[in-house]
């Protein structure tokens, strides 16, 4: 039953809002990349618990795509995330004026949603050059339960890795 709700949650997440922008170095032979590792001094912007969840999900997804975690990697992954409050979308306007002019003021109603952007940088292990990048945007953060957070990370990682390696 728990898996059913997680699946439903992931479907809802895929349909409502995780967007990803991709970029990569043209001319790169992505078929040569089989092993990966993470930068040692990453500043992910995630809490320690969220980092464990995120990297657990990312490792499973990379393994499912045929990549192996290695101490001598073909490419190195750097993750950066930022949480921010999006602007309010509703305002109420007040105006005072006469036939010759006037003044109006817009007042925001409510608060904006908390959003997160996660940047995935894949860097060649030999040349240290950026070869692939994905920037994901989540318009709404999940509720504060460990399962909801992990499901959100799973949705983001799956959508991001859908573009790696790039299709020719």
Please tell me the distance from the alpha carbon of residue 156 to that of residue 18, in angstroms, as a whole number.
Answer: 7
Model confidence pLDDT, tens digit, residues 23-48: 999 999 999 999 999 999 899 999 99
Given a contact cutoff of 8 angstroms between Cβ atoms, the answer to whether 35 and 67 are in contact is yes
Give the class (CATH, top level) of 2-86+108-161: alpha beta
Q: What is the pLDDT of residue 141?
A: 72
pLDDT in tens, 97-115: 666 666 666 555 555 678 8
Domain ranges of the chain: 2-86+108-161
Q: What is the mean pLDDT of residues 69-94?
A: 83
Judge whether residue 154 has pLDDT over 90.
yes
């Amino acid at each position: 039953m728990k898996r059913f709700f997680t699946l439903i949650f992931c479907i809802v997440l895929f349909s409502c809002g995780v967007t990803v922008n991709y970029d990569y170095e043209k001319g790169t032979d992505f078929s040569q990349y089989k092993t990966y590792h993470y930068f040692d001094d990453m500043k992910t912007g995630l809490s320690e618990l969220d980092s464990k969840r995120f990297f657990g999900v990312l490792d499973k997804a990379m393994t499912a795509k045929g990549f192996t975690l290695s101490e001598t990697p073909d490419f190195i992954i750097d993750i950066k995330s930022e949480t921010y409050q999006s602007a309010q979308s509703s305002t109420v306007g007040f105006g005072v004026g006469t036939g010759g002019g006037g003044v109006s003021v817009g007042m925001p109603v409510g608060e904006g949603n908390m959003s997160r952007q996660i940047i995935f940088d894949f860097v060649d292990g030999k040349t240290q050059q950026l070869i692939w990048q994905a920037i994901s945007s989540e318009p709404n953060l999940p509720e504060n339960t460990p399962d909801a957070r992990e499901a959100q990370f799973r949705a983001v990682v799956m959508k991001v890795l859908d573009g790696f390696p790039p299709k020719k």
